[in-house]
Structure 1
Amino acid sequence: MPDIFINYRTGDCEHAAVAIEQNLSARFGRERVFRASKSIRPGENYRTGLSTASSSARVLLVLIGPKWLDARDRDGNRALSNKDDWTRKEILNAMRGGARIIPILCGRKLPRLVAADLPRALASLADLQSLTYDTGSAEAGLDRIATELIDLVPGLVDRTAKASSTDAVHYTNGGPVNGNIVQLRDMSGGSITNTAFNGPTGPVSTDGGDQHISYGDGATHITGKNTGGIRHKFGSKRERGEHR
């Protein structure tokens, strides 16, 4: 079943509901985010679908726009006070199922809910910390919602997150490493100067001077900027117990 249920009222926050659902579906997978017109397929019982999904969701996002509180039903009564109102029933189903309820205020200047303005069954919504989604800063709002959901819902992974940059220099050593290794990353352009590696095989330098690699028979000497002569030294007497 979906982890995240998008709760909204027809005629209020519909565009926000689509934008938030599509963004979260792209990040976490379509199967993990429920929005009625997307998730209930033709021929399926919508009452069963809404009841099951809202009762089993881990998080229910209550999208609240300027018309949410005062919307009217067919008889002219306030919709939220109607026990058959689906926006109301989905919220209550999620509460009974133990879901985390997060109000999403769809508008920068939209005020927080006040308990006295709500039906008694929904009064606790006024005490819940809310998030804001505003079309003027939609990307920031979507990022904030996704970040909070990742922290709140175990197993959610943002598939659109950029992979961390890889190190610019990689070292592979088949055996134990002796001495210090300095690993460089995120390097582009420029140059490396005056770097020395003082490992067990003698000093290696990247400075502009002579390059010396000295270790037993076959020591290598490179003069100047690696354009001079190369000399190999053979015939040195090995110390006892030394192996190649």
Structure 2
Amino acid sequence: MTQFVSTISGKVCYTWYMSATFISYRRNDSAGHTGRLYDHLCESLGEGNVFRDIDTIKPGSDFVDAVQDGIKHCSTLVVVIGNHWLTAEDESGRRLDHPLDYVRLEISSALKQGIQVLPVLVEGARMPDPTDLPEDIAPLARRQALQLSDDRWDYDVSRLISALAEPDITREYPQKTDAISTDDITAIAAHHIPSDKNTIEKKNKSRLISTLVLLMILSAGLVIWLWPGKQQPPASSKKIEEKTLPIETKEIVVIDNDSVKIERKWDESVIIEAKEAKEAKEAKEAKEAKEAKEAKEVKEIEVESIQFQNEITLLLDRARENLNRLQLTSPKEDNAVEKYRRILELQPGHTEALHGLEQVSRTYVGLATKAAEGNEFNKADSYLNLARSIKSDIPAIRQVEQLISSLRQRQEQAEKSAANREQKDVQSDLQSLEQEQSRLSCESGCKNEALQCEQKAQTIDCSMKKIQTQCDDMHNECLRDPQTLLTWGELGAAAECLGIYNQCKEQQLKACETSQSKQLTKCQTNLDSCLINCL
């Protein structure tokens, strides 16, 4: 706070003035950073000495005059520049190119009036080139900028406050000889605010001395006024002047031989809007982070799916090799059964793995049958137990069990009966067993053929990618057809060709699905016929 003493028409007026800092910014560019900066500056310079926005312009006031009037009462214009400050647009184009853009008006007014302009960069923004700015604010590009970094915010803000505390000695103030107006008072006050604590303490001491001198002068005047024979002067007159700035209400009251009273009222809507902008930005960042996380999870699932399919393919190849080498259940960790069971752990219900286990089980059933035919019933039981442990729901297992039991009984009877009769019965049983084995083998072959037929049907490619490739050529040929262009015109030809393209996709997809369905039906029909022939 600085004290000025001026003698006007024989009167002594003592007034104190506070300098003002005007913050210019775009709400959709740096509202959050500006709100944070505003709080720090208010804490250091005083809330009444920091202004932002022009929301307090009265209805009916000239917009340009209001901006210029608000700027001229400030000592420094702080221009907050973010990443979208230069390129911000509205329905008419880039906002800076509009002569009535409020940011452009604020900077232009400050430059014209010789007010100190201090660019402040946030969010890693860079100073614009003079060629990117309108001519009236191009000198802004030559001003030394100050960077406000989130990582060192407090340090950078302290540098800004130090810069604001230094008075702009290059600015000229109006000179009056016979009277001093409110505009003169405000203009002089706008450049004489000490912001740092040391300067304030010095000024307080100076103010105390000035107050003592003032009291002495008033005491002397009182003695002279009360001196006998002197005529008592009329009551002191009072002059009250009021000035309204664009961003706050300031009232200056000048009283003869008294001090100046200043009252300010700040518009809190800017703080609320900054808070809302910050919350919106945080919500947007949270949404983007969530979307990025979901995209990452989808990508990881796709990678896992590819790895999963590759592992299944590798296990199937190795299981087929084990099956061809009759490595059914041994060696312990390298056999067909272990591979097929691992596939079913990864993908329950896998068709080929289930069929492979069934094939292994049937192989053991066949070995059990041969052992039984050779009267090696213990060996037959061992093979049958292996078949049962692999896949117990095969009907042939029950049949072979009955066969082995029957053969055992017949063998025991043969030992008690005559050799010829026993031999005849055994041959008859063996013939029945051969017939049954032949039937089982026939059914197994039918099912293998049906499985191969179904796999062949599933190889028919009905994917949209293939169908689109086939229809793209037809679509492009239609677009290049001059007759179509001549008949339908450019827009009509495009619509006609698009209809042909969509019709092609529908026909191709329908034909492909029909072909696949027919092939599967044919596979089932052949299986039924084959099974009937096995009876």
Interval containing the TM-score (normalised by the shorter chain): 0.5 to 0.7
Whether 1:132 aligns to 2:143 is no
- Post-superposition Cα deviations, 1:44-92, rounded to whole Å, max 9, x if no partner, equal 96946544222321100011000001111232x1110100100100111
Of 25, 46, 59, 1:8 maps to 25
Instruction: Report how far residue 9 of structure 1 moved.
Output: 0.9
- Structure 1 pair 70–3 and aligned structure 2 pair: CA distance change class (3 A): same
Two-structure CA RMSD over aligned residues (Å): 3.0
Aligned to 1:29: 46
- Structure 1 pair 41–159 and aligned structure 2 pair: CA distance change class (3 A): farther
The percentage of aligned residue pairs carrying the same residue is: 25
SS at match of 2:90: coil
8 Å Cα contact 1:103-1:130 kept in structure 2: yes
Of 141, 146, 166, 1:151 maps to 166
Distance 1:44 1:25 in 2: 30
Whether 1:40 aligns to 2:56 is yes
- Structure 1 pair 10–44 and aligned structure 2 pair: CA distance change class (3 A): farther
What one-letter code is carried by the residue in structure 1 that aligns with 2:144?
Q
Structure having the larger proportion of residues in helix: 2
Distance 2:62 2:146 in 1: 28
Aligned to 1:81: 97
Distance 1:23 1:33 in 2: 10
Of 67, 86, 102, 2:118 maps to 102
What one-letter code is carried by the residue in structure 2 that aligns with 1:156?
P
Structure having the larger proportion of residues in strand: 1
1:62-211 → structure 2 map (5 Å cutoff): 62-75=79-92, 77-107=93-123, 109-152=124-167, 154-158=192-196
- Structure 1 pair 42–135 and aligned structure 2 pair: CA distance change class (3 A): farther
Distance 1:81 1:88 in 2: 8
Distance 1:15 1:45 in 2: 29
8 Å Cα contact 1:34-1:53 kept in structure 2: no
Higher relative contact order, chain-length normalized (CA < 8 Å, sep 6+): 1
- Structure 1 pair 82–6 and aligned structure 2 pair: CA distance change class (3 A): same
TM-score for the superposition, normalised by structure 1: 0.58
The structure number with the bigger radius of gyration is 2
Distance 1:14 1:96 in 2: 26
Instruction: Report how far residue 3 of structure 1 moved.
Output: 1.5
- Structure 1 pair 15–159 and aligned structure 2 pair: CA distance change class (3 A): farther
Structure 2, gaps ≥5 residues long: 1-17, 168-190, 202-535
- Post-superposition Cα deviations, 1:125-162, rounded to whole Å, max 9, x if no partner, equal 1111010112222111111100111123532223699x
- Post-superposition Cα deviations, 1:13-34, rounded to whole Å, max 9, x if no partner, equal 1111111112111111111111
TM-score for the superposition, normalised by structure 2: 0.28
8 Å Cα contact 1:36-1:50 kept in structure 2: no
Deviates more, 1:11-20 or 1:80-89: 11-20
8 Å Cα contact 2:67-2:109 kept in structure 1: no
- Structure 1 pair 49–84 and aligned structure 2 pair: CA distance change class (3 A): closer
SS at match of 2:78: strand
Runs of 4+ in 1 over 3 A off after TM superposition: 39-51, 158-161
Structure 1, gaps ≥5 residues long: 164-244
SS at match of 1:11: helix
What one-letter code is carried by the residue in structure 2 that aligns with 1:112?
M
Aligned to 2:75: 58
Distance 1:69 1:146 in 2: 25
